[in-house]
Structure formats: structure tokens, C-alpha cells
Structure 1
Amino acid sequence: MREARIPGVILAGGQARRMGGGDKGLREIGGRTLLDHVIARLEPQAQPIALNANGDPARFAACGLPVLADPVAGFVGPLAGILAGLDWAAGLGATHVVSVAADTPFFPTDLVARLRGGLADAPIVLAATPDPERGRRRHPTFGLWPVALRDDLVRALESGTRKVVQWTEAHAASEVVFDAPEGADPFFNVNTPADLEIARRRHDEGRT
């Protein structure tokens, strides 16, 4: 029996201060927006897909995705976007939702399959990469989240929790470690104009 597909939410609700404001996901590399690259990576892995973003959703009309605003006011960070995804997934009758970041165009093409494989160890599964100093580095915007913890996340946000890691550690989240070769980190994200130029070079050189 074929396993049901897991819905996916692309997190694009940040304010992009280090980029000078605006929507990072609408910056271009290789003639396509970062968001286009992210959608192309995620579509074969998760269905359906939604976009978490605040403000006028019309600016994302070309993507053809439902746009989910943060259910918590005040730009409180990615946990609000994860909650938006959980609310949406609950409405679909799904048990989980996978999240990815809109500014990370090279994430693994087997992300969802490998995160799904980690569900036997913990209710929440996060992506990670090796780190020479800390052993591993977590990428908390790339995770697989159970709808069953939606109410718990609401309470955490209401109590002031803002860091993803703080909430996930309370639930003993597990990690799946992905290789990150030098110059080809799959979780390289575009935070600054300099990062955007690196991503453009990397794309043009085929290191995707």
C-alpha cells in the first residue's frame, strides 16, 4: 500500500532585514526566483504545498499556492509559520506537515523521505548537518511536525516561547543528519545580498 503524501509548507514570513527588507523568496537566481527553486524541490516530495507569508498575498499569485498568514500577530518568528502549517494540515486531515525555508534553494531532494524515516525515534524530526565545532548543526525551519502538537504549540507561543529549538527540545525532537560538502551545503540560505551572489554562482556552476 502506498504511503500517503505529507503536505508541505514553505516558510516565508520573515522580514528579511539583512536583505534590506522585502521578500527574499522573490529574489532571482538563474532567471527564477528563490521561491520557484524551492517549490521545484518540494513538489516531488510533498503534496499539497502552501506558502506561509504575511501581508498582501497577491504578490505571490504567480506561485499558484495557498498563502497562509501567521496566526500570531507581531512577526514572532518561524514557530508562528509552523503553527500556520499545522492549522492548514489539520484542515486537510493530515497527521503531519513538513516545513522548508523559502530562502534555501538547494535543500535535499530526499529531505521528506529521510525526515519521515526518523519518526520512529521522536514526534518531531529536524534536519541537521555535521559541524566541526558542535558535532552537528540543526536547521529548525526544516522539520516534520505532528498535527497532534498543534495545541501545545499554541500554548507555548502564548507563554512567550519564540525559538524553535526551545520548543522542539521540550519534545525531545530527533535529528536526521545530511552531508554538507564544502561549497555545497544543502541548507545554505540567502540572508544577505552577498549570500545571494554566492547562491547565483553556485547555481551557475551546477553545485545544486
Structure 2
Amino acid sequence: MSVCAVILAGGQANRMGGGDKGRLMLGDQSLIHRVIDRITPQVDAVVLNANGDLSRFDDLGLPVVADSIGEFSGPLAGVLAGMDWAAQHGHEWLISVAADTPSFPLDLAERLAGHDTPVVLAATPDPERGRVPQPTFGRWQVALRHDLRAALNDGVRKIRQWTQAQGETLVIFGEDDFFNINTPEDLARAEQQLQ
């Protein structure tokens, strides 16, 4: 089964002051380059989801697709853009990853593939809540794209509102596997961890 990955970089990065969060440097490499390096060996193809002037990502050497349901309609719109690209290129499954999470597991795609459901999301353990879904990290059956498009057109924006209706499976990873960089403080913490 052919698997494509979409890197979700379509947000507005408001908590970082705007711009492309993926271009922030962590050590000697940008966040987006770290994400590309981690996901590429796990899949057959990689596409980037972004909005605005797509040519600003030409240096990455990846296909870039914009949201087809409005601009900045949230991660589900980015997943749909990835699904559409994957379908056009003959991929049956899509793995989604976030551009602001540079140290997700190197076996993400393999572990998510170990389940039969059409949507499989990563989750982390939490002592109080049991498990916390990480819904921008998932495995999506590309054939669901028509259903997802209809849901987005009906105003659905919350990922789990849609994934739970598809009978999602949650896969538990490590507590810090999906540390994402939303604020300057997060970036400073990631720099400390890197050292």
C-alpha cells in the first residue's frame, strides 16, 4: 500500500507573531527541514500544505498544496489538501505531521499502520485524562476525502468531531513525542533539549 505524508504548515502562527513557524531555526536546522528529514524515510512521497504565496517554499523541493476549503480553515483542510494530492498520485493512505513538531517518532508511520480503522491518530499518556490525542499526527484513508470535504463544507473544523465519526483508533506514544513549538518559550525549551 502506497503512503504519502502531508506536512501541515498552513496555519497563521499567531502565538509566534505570524509568519512561517517552520522556518524558525532550531540549532543549525529549520523546524521544517527537521520535519522533512524525519518523515521522508517513513513514506513513499511527501507534500507540504501551506497557504498564501506558495512559491516561498520552492527551496524545499516538495510539492506544495493550499487548502481547497477557504484559507486558514484549520488542520482538517490541510489533511484534505494532502488527501487530494495523494489521490491524484495513486496513494491509498496519508500520514499527517505538523511543521512545528520537529522530534516526532521515527517509527510514526509504522506504528499508525498497525491498525485497520480508516483513521488512526497519535495520542500521548496523561495521568489525569488517560490519553491526549495529537490529532495533527494521524493516518488517513485517502478514500475518505469526499466525506471530509462534505464535513468541511458543512462547517466542521474540530478534527475529532470528524475522526470520531469515522471510528478512529488512538495509538499511545511517549509523553514528549509530540512537543510542538507554539511560542518563543517553546522554542527556547527545544533549544535546551537539543543541547
CA shift at 1:62, angstroms? 1.7
Match of 1:188 among 165, 172, 179: 179
Say if 2:51 and 2:71, in contact at 8 Å, map to a contact too. Answer: no
Paired position in structure 1 for 2:50: 53
User: What SS is found at the alignment partner of 1:43?
Assistant: helix
Runs of 5+ in structure 1 lacking a partner?
A: none
Deviates more, 1:17-26 or 1:68-77: 68-77
Match of 2:87 among 79, 90, 99: 90
In the alignment, structure 1 residue 148 sits paired with structure 2 residue 148 = no
User: What SS is found at the alignment partner of 2:32?
Assistant: helix
Paired position in structure 2 for 1:200: 191
Q: How many percent of aligned residue pairs carry the same amino acid?
A: 56
In the alignment, structure 1 residue 31 sits paired with structure 2 residue 57 = no
Paired position in structure 1 for 2:107: 110
Deviation readout 1:76-125 (Å, 9 max, x if unpaired): 1000000000000100111111100000001000000000012x2x2100
Match of 1:159 among 154, 158, 180: 154
Measure the CA separation in 1 of the matches of 2:44 and 2:52.
24
TM-score norm. by structure 2 comes to: 0.97
Say if 2:96 and 2:138, in contact at 8 Å, map to a contact too. Answer: yes
Structure 1 runs of 4+ aligned residues shifted over 6 Å read none
Runs of 5+ in structure 2 lacking a partner?
A: none
Measure the CA separation in 2 of the matches of 1:196 and 1:101.
15
CA shift at 1:74, angstroms? 3.4
RMSD: 0.9
